Each structure stands twice: as structure tokens, then as C-alpha cells.
Amino acid sequence: MSDPLVDALRDSCTGEVHAGRSLAEFTTLRVGGDARALVIAEDDADLAAIGVACTQAGAPWMVVGRGSNLLVADDGWHGVAIQLGRAYRGTTIEVPDEPEAAGVVRVGGAEPLPTLAVRVAAAGLTGFAWAVGVPGTLGGAVRMNAGAHGGDMADALTEVELFRLRSGGRETWPASALELRYRHATLPEDAVVVGATLSLERGEESRVREEMAQIRDWRREHQPLSEPNCGSVFTNPPGDSAGRLVEAVGAKGLTIGGASVSTTHANFIVTRPGATATDVHELIEHVIAQVASSTGVRLVPEVSRVGNFPPVDTS
């Protein structure tokens, strides 16, 4: 039986439309169920069509970048997953002749952060090396004010280009309107980040490349890069480290089903073949409970959980 929502999307979108597409392959944890539909949006007309179709069907939507902080329930999700196509990639860099003037970087929402970091370094701009090891896109990084190694998006972001799914148009917002703070940006629920502008200081390319090499080496040594994971699972509490707390209460290596707290870095959860989203979900809840019971600190997940997850008995 055909799905009227999928039919409407196929009739109105030029990009690929997939019905009942598994989202596991679009997440770095490699677990989870199907979306009602997945659309590869190739232009603003596709995004507008998605907004109209979802509104008429009463269906939710979400943008899936590289899925580096996304956990989809095993029984799937009843909405439309949107992935920005190649038209939303690309970087333009302007470096003024004046030695003291900052460089201006305009970048598409689907551009991978590591690629952007390398291009910025090649242009002799500094302040974005932290992004070389972050497995996400520019759009996702704006939405959560991503950061690492002492830097974050708020340091460089000057404005964002948003496509509003309800109104079907673009809006340009100054970074100051996003209320950027640690792992947070205030954006309308129907906003898709399709581009952004960064301001970065001049630097020596060789020094920036050396900094990126050091970051890559540090991540290889201290993070489980060879195993499926979603990056940092919990935000750091004020003045403390989530990984330190998890390790301090003895939860490093804790395993439920096919999911384990990494023995390399305690703020990472890794999965092995056969793992389920429920395994990861239950492990998250058990770690939260164990840390809260022992320290009084309730960790806040950084990973976004989508769909229906079963209640977890942590007693």
C-alpha cells in the first residue's frame, strides 16, 4: 500500500525520496530503525516541498547530517528525515589584502567540518583547527554550537542562513540572535541551517596544520575512533568532565547488549555488530543513574534520541 506522504514527496521533490529507509546507515552508531521517509534535498524548492507535505500530513521532520549525535529507536520514527544534498556543500573564502583584517568564510550547511577545517587552514586562517576531528556538518555544528579542544562555533560564527520549512523561505540571522552557549543555539523548530558565515583571524598555515595534526594524534590516542560511536555522549557539567565522572563511579567498560562504555574514553559509547538502539538507550540511562547515585550530578545526554524508547529500570 502506498503512503500518501511519500507519494506527495516524490511528486514534488527533485531529490531522492526513500520510503521506510533505515537510518542506521546515516548515524555513526550504526543502529536504529526506519524513517517513514528519507529525502535528499537538492535545493530550496525541495525543502519547501517537504515543509508543505509534512504540514499537510501532520508529520514531523528532522535534518540528518552525518548522524554523529543521533540515536533512532529500533522500531523507527514516523517522520521525514532530511539530508541536504551536494548543492548545500561548498566553501568560499575571502582574505582581504589588509594584514590585520579577518578572513570571511561562507560555507554551506552540508559541508563536513573536517573538510572545512582543512580548507580554512590552507587559506592561512586560524581559529578553526578544533573542527578537524569533529564528525559532523556545518549545519549540525551551528545547531548545537559544537566545539572541541577549547574552541567552538560561537568563536567564529557571524551569521547563519536559515530555510524555514513552514514559510518556505530563507532568512539571514546574526549569530547574536542564536543565544549561543555551551552546546546550545536557539533556533526555530522549522529552521534548516543551509549556510553560515564565519570570521577568522589570519595565521600561518604551517602552524595551523601542525595544530590539526596534534589534534588528530590526540583523538587517535584518546578516543575510540575505530569503533562505531556518537562522539561525546554527555555534556560536561560546569567545572567538571563527564568522562571523569563516568570513570570515577566505575562505569567505564559497562556493557548492555551490544553497547559498551568505551574503555578508551568514558564519555563515549561504542557499539558492535548486533547492537540495538535500545542497548545504547539503556546504557545511557544506567550511566546517568549510577553517576547521580554516587555523585549527585545528573549527566545530560548530548546525543539526540528520536522515536519511542522503552522505560528503563535503573534501580
**Residue in 68, 143, 232, 282 annotated catalytic:** 232
Q: Residue 178: which of 139, 136, 137 has the closest Cα?
A: 139
**Residue in 159, 161, 282, 302 annotated catalytic:** 302
183 assigned to active site: yes
**Residue in 166, 183, 202, 209 annotated catalytic:** 183
167 assigned to active site: no
Q: Which residues are catalytic?
A: 183, 232, 302
